[in-house]
Chains A and B, each alone.
Chain A
């Protein structure tokens, strides 16, 4: 089996998402869904319910009135927001472990995920063209391929470094040279397995190279810009540091206004502080198994 096939095979070693995520996703756009019935799907899991209510009442997600029940969270925040929070609670334990191959300390991948989620959502709100909730989800999931490559395949970082140094090429190109694939493509394969909506999978697959996408949507460009900005600041920086190329096509297509980059960074830096605190205790409360390397 060649390395690329072996890597894509390892996508199946990552734990599947709990059924509740798929149920919520399925009903997100259904106007006839009963919140009372759907709330029960979450409430059977007390850990998930506690985490959901804590996050629903956090400064970032919350509203002025305190939220005391799952059904009320759905009414106040909307089903999409609840889906987002449940997805975050389920994915957080996997991305909070150290990612060995990428030299990412514990919680660093998660910090980058949440920062990029917030930056994407802010850009979608400011620029339009994409649903801010989709932008949050795509930003949160864009680097999940690193879990597979870093923990399940055990990336040989020396080979990647050599390829970068010798060819003067960006990190994702070096990944393709060494593995035959890159963390963005691996993330897309994982998200497909998790049945994440196709537009989000596309944004994740091309997030380092938007101009290569045959059918680009503003969501893709937003995630590219958000990732570049969060990496610039150093949120969740690993061995790949800033060794990526900026794709100017995204900035042109979005017609970025002046100062938007700096406003986004300032906005995220404040929001992130509160959020990281919340997630630090989530793993224990939620009782989700963290991703474990299986060979």
Chain B
């Protein structure tokens, strides 16, 4: 699975790695693709996959709530969890995914060491993620969240497998 996170390796096996930047998302129904998002700190990455339809998506949200900048949220829904996740879900539905089949996984939501950090962006990103999922009647299948690590999250659109890389070590999510 490690080859999936390496664009050059992936190309040798006929796969294409699509990098999802901060405040962006990608959806596709192409089994040749691997969606990857890097450097998740307090940001939250969410992968979604419907194995029956072969449709999947990945988003990298930076902030919890769009109310701090509604104009930017209209332009860039993926920047915020409360606008990004509904946009991601709608985009996979538009490609033929069925809500009942969705496999959702999340990584990120980290924070600096110690109890003194006042912004709590990571924690609040995870709280809002929970609320949006609850509203949509969805649950996370797996998650790798919290702590102070940086994480990379990848979704293989062929198998639906999800991998998290932390400190150079990869594990299946």
Contact = CB atoms under 8 A, between A and B. Distances in A.
A195 to B, nearest CB: 33
A261 B113 contact: no
Given A242-B113, A243-B113, A246-B116, A237 B68 contact: no
Contacts of A170: 113-114
A35 interface: no
A22 interface: no
Contacts of B4: none
A242 B42 contact: yes
Contacts of B62: 233, 265-266, 269
A12 interface: no
Contacts of A72: none
Q: Which of B110, B117, B149 has the most CB atoms of chain A within a 10 A radius of its CB?
A: B117
B150 A232 contact: no
A263 B65 CA distance: 11
Interface residues of B, number: 32
Interface string A132-165: 0000000000000000000000000000010000
A229 B121 CA distance: 9
Contacts, number: 97
Contacts of A233: 22, 41-43, 62
B52 interface: no
Q: How large is the interface on A (under 10, 10 to 19, 20 to 34, 35 or more residues)?
A: 20 to 34
A59 interface: no
A275 to B, nearest CB: 14
A3 interface: no
A13 B91 CA distance: 52
B113 A241 contact: no
Contacts of B119: 228-229, 232, 261-262
Q: Which 6 A-B residue pairs are closest in the complex by CB-CB distance? A: A234-B39, A246-B117, A242-B148, A241-B150, A234-B41, A232-B42
Given A242-B150, A251-B118, A269-B22, 19 more contacts: A103-B168, A228-B117, A232-B42, A232-B121, A233-B22, A234-B39, A234-B40, A242-B110, A242-B112, A242-B149, A244-B112, A245-B114, A246-B114, A246-B117, A259-B68, A263-B69, A265-B63, A269-B62, A269-B79
8 contacts: A232-B122, A233-B42, A242-B42, A243-B112, A251-B118, A262-B64, A262-B69, A269-B79
